[in-house]
Structure 1
Amino acid sequence: MTVDVSVILPTMNEEKAISVVLPKLQESLEKMGLSYEIIVVDKSVDNTPDIASSLGALVIPQKNRGYGDAYITGFNNARGKYIVMGDPDGSYDFSELPKLLEPLLRDEADLVICTRLKGRIEKGAMPWLHRYVGNPLLTKILNFLFKTKISDAHCGFRAIRRDALEKLPLKCRGMEFASEMIIEAAKAGLRIKEVPITYHPRIGKSKLNSFRDGWRHLRLMLLYSPSYLFLIPGISFVLGGAGLIAYAYNTNPLRVHSLILASLLIIVGFQIINFGIFSKVYSVKEGLEKPDRITKFFMRYSILEEGLLLSAVLLVVGLSVGISIFLKWRASGYGELFEIKQAILVMTLVALGIQLAFFSFFVSILMLKEVS
């Protein structure tokens, strides 16, 4: 049988808080007149599961570890039309649950996220570093990369429609699950709404690790953004190198170090671009992203032949310049030779030609099933 609301609470040694939180949660749901179930996904070594069970919650032991893993386990066992997520440590006031559910009940949103930063944060509830640096900075990065308009991306008090949740391929098992959910919701085109709440000091000791968990959120966002992680830096390197090599080639005296740096920027930048294209094609192949103009271009059947042809052009031009250098050297009786400009040009063209050839083969391998 289905119910109106499934509330999922991940617990790990919350015996002091659970006996306070569950009655408030039940009272709030009963006042709304909704049928409900409370699912406690537990990884405790104290009396948390016994207390939760005695108060009417369904307790599911968590086999693995992690914040995200607990919620994924809860989702797999939930029967509700609406799914509520929340930390059972007393920091979220479950008497404010109606504010969270009403936009879903009125069909104004698919996902509702509470915001502490636009609500009220009680003294001692959130460390200064989280309130003024970590949360705002990571939220702004998420908004920039994924075109969202969230004020508090890491607030764990949320509600989502079951049919909307089924559209999200959630996989992260750690704290970065909170960011993944918003990213996938934005990609799926879900209607996201925020509601301000009051954030209270938690009951018991916090299990967060500020820098480790912050890095996990940032890491996830970068891995979800191959264009910003690879393509933009790679193109910037190539353009910077090209500009520098053009400048160094047309100045006197000869700027050898500038030429070497320019060649390095071009070669490294081109390799970074290759990684970016690999990532985008792989994401499309695995169903993580929809094809865009870049991936459609590189996922064509003829990309191998076109890449090898351009690679051959680069190699022929580079080797031709190299041969001319050798002929000059031989004509001078194999003595001293000062052809730095041409030598750096040969090195750059040959390196790019080789990279392009192997890049073309690798992309074609990723597309093997489609082109065979």
Structure 2
Amino acid sequence: MLIGPDSDQTPALSIVMPTLNEEAGIAECIERAKTAISELGMTAEIILSDSSTDRTPEIGRDLGAIVHEPDQSGYGYAYRYAFDRARGEYIIMGDADTTYDFEQIPRLLAHLREQDADIVMGSRLEGEIKPGAMPSLHQYVGNPLLTKFLNAFYGAGVSDAHSGFRIFTREAYETMNLETTGMEFASEMIMEAGAQDLDIVETPIVYHEREGKETLDSFSDGWRHVRFMLVNAPGYLFSAPGLLLGLAGLVVMGIAYTGVSIGNATLGTHSMIAGSLLTIVGYQVASLGVFATVASDPIQKPTDPITERVTTSLSLEHGATAGLVLFGVGSLYAAALVSQWITNGFASLEFTMSSLIAFTAIIIGLQTVFSSFFLSAINR
């Protein structure tokens, strides 16, 4: 049932393994995949996306695998390179280091079909992790935290977001716009699947100890996942923090200006200054959310009404006009202060909370004007 690259038959399954010096475990992985193919009775191809300097590709070819050599480096790119050349209706992905048992392909495929899903993932955290198969830092800290991030930001609803053992339909792959080249590819697939309303299901699997040298860098690869998730969710990275900071600043300024007491405490001038700074910083951070949404086309766009309104219907003229009005109101008060200063013979003027409100309005007004022009420039 295993067919080669020159066969006229179209395989039902494409089993893809990225390989980087995996000669210690590649033969076992291929033999297990062959067992699964035989059990299913379906035509299949085994593809190695290989960047090895050892005997991995030679072993793979001897055992009937198709070997492709990606023209760029990277875990994600190796998968994408092979997926683009895979011919099967169903695509199976898994590491070639014996950590995943390819004999379980029939069970995962059956689950995919039974659930009428687009993607099925083998969950290590809901299954069994053999002693020594996964470092404690990954098992109890890294993978659970990254999974919580992904579920919170993207509503993935999975228990093990970074399991590398997955089956998905060709249609699902073609629906996802996968672009990353590194280890963050595992996160991108789930994020894109969620953005495209694809159905992801899980089933428990056993995770085995690997053969060969570990290639994962815990901290740098973990940070790549977090960075990718944050950059593609500007609502969480910029909009929400910006709105919270701005609202907190306005509340502090309002309380300080009105002189309302909070218990035995009364907010004064220093609180007013802090509130002004929070308001300005919050406005700037929230503006970055708008810019990131328009300029980068993130996977998860902000859903708050303010960002949606600004990015979809606010014109340059409306934004610039609002900024000029705000700037003008603040400037009128500032002009009155300058006039008073001149009239008093350039003597020192008493600091007032009203003047701080005016200066805050001037700054935010100017930001609005120039932000409107910048938004117009990147949104052409």
2:274 matched to which residue of 1? 261
Kindly indicate whether the alpha-carbon contact (under 8 Å) linking 1:176 and 1:220 is maintained by their aligned counterparts in 2.
yes
Deviation at 1:45, TM superposition (A): 0.8
Which of 364, 370, 374 is the aligned partner of 1:352?
364
State the alpha-carbon separation in 2 of the partners of residues 300 and 141 from structure 1. Answer: 28
* Residue 338 (structure 1) aligned with residue 346 (structure 2): no
Higher mean alpha-carbon deviation, 235-244 vs 329-338, is at 329-338
Aligned-partner residue type, residue 48 of structure 2: V
Deviation at 1:332, TM superposition (A): 1.9
1:317 matched to which residue of 2? 329
Higher mean alpha-carbon deviation, 99-108 vs 292-301, is at 292-301
Aligned-partner residue type, residue 212 of structure 1: S
Distance 1:81 1:361, change over 3 A: same
Kindly indicate whether the alpha-carbon contact (under 8 Å) linking 2:36 and 2:103 is maintained by their aligned counterparts in 1.
yes
Aligned-partner residue type, residue 187 of structure 2: S
1:306 matched to which residue of 2? 318
Kindly indicate whether the alpha-carbon contact (under 8 Å) linking 2:233 and 2:300 is maintained by their aligned counterparts in 1.
no
Aligned-partner residue type, residue 315 of structure 1: F
Deviation at 1:201, TM superposition (A): 0.5
Q: Give structure 2 stretches of 5+ with no counterpart.
A: 1-8
Deviation at 1:287, TM superposition (A): 8.4
SS at match of 1:95: helix
Higher mean alpha-carbon deviation, 223-232 vs 302-311, is at 302-311
Kindly indicate whether the alpha-carbon contact (under 8 Å) linking 1:43 and 1:61 is maintained by their aligned counterparts in 2.
yes
* Residue 246 (structure 1) aligned with residue 246 (structure 2): no
Distance 1:301 1:109, change over 3 A: closer
* Residue 276 (structure 1) aligned with residue 311 (structure 2): no
Aligned-partner residue type, residue 85 of structure 1: M
SS at match of 1:77: coil
1:179 matched to which residue of 2? 187
2:379 matched to which residue of 1? 367
Aligned-partner residue type, residue 228 of structure 1: Y
1:30 matched to which residue of 2? 38
Higher mean alpha-carbon deviation, 4-13 vs 305-314, is at 305-314
State the alpha-carbon separation in 1 of the partners of residues 218 and 168 from structure 2. Answer: 27
Kindly indicate whether the alpha-carbon contact (under 8 Å) linking 1:322 and 1:342 is maintained by their aligned counterparts in 2.
no
SS at match of 1:359: helix
State the alpha-carbon separation in 2 of the partners of residues 238 and 345 from structure 1. Answer: 14
Aligned residues between the structures? 366
* Residue 327 (structure 1) aligned with residue 335 (structure 2): no
State the alpha-carbon separation in 2 of the partners of residues 300 and 79 from structure 1. Answer: 40
State the alpha-carbon separation in 2 of the partners of residues 194 and 354 from structure 1. Answer: 51
Aligned-partner residue type, residue 315 of structure 2: I
TM-score using structure 1 length: 0.93
1:161 matched to which residue of 2? 169
Deviation at 1:288, TM superposition (A): 5.0
Higher mean alpha-carbon deviation, 272-281 vs 244-253, is at 244-253
Kindly indicate whether the alpha-carbon contact (under 8 Å) linking 2:191 and 2:299 is maintained by their aligned counterparts in 1.
no
2:5 matched to which residue of 1? none
Q: Moved runs in structure 1, 4+ residues, more than 4 A? A: 286-296, 299-302
State the alpha-carbon separation in 2 of the partners of residues 36 and 254 from structure 1. Answer: 72
State the alpha-carbon separation in 1 of the partners of residues 302 and 156 from structure 2. Answer: 20
Aligned-partner residue type, residue 282 of structure 1: A
Deviation at 1:290, TM superposition (A): 7.3
* Residue 220 (structure 1) aligned with residue 212 (structure 2): no
State the alpha-carbon separation in 2 of the partners of residues 264 and 287 from structure 1. Answer: 29
Higher mean alpha-carbon deviation, 221-230 vs 328-337, is at 328-337
Deviation at 1:37, TM superposition (A): 0.3
1:70 matched to which residue of 2? 78
* Residue 79 (structure 1) aligned with residue 87 (structure 2): yes
Distance 1:21 1:247, change over 3 A: same
SS at match of 1:44: coil
1:15 matched to which residue of 2? 23
2:129 matched to which residue of 1? 121
Aligned-partner residue type, residue 272 of structure 1: V
TM-score using structure 2 length: 0.91
Q: Give structure 1 stretches of 5+ with no counterpart.
A: none
Deviation at 1:25, TM superposition (A): 1.1
Kindly indicate whether the alpha-carbon contact (under 8 Å) linking 1:146 and 1:186 is maintained by their aligned counterparts in 2.
yes
State the alpha-carbon separation in 2 of the partners of residues 349 and 110 from structure 1. Answer: 51
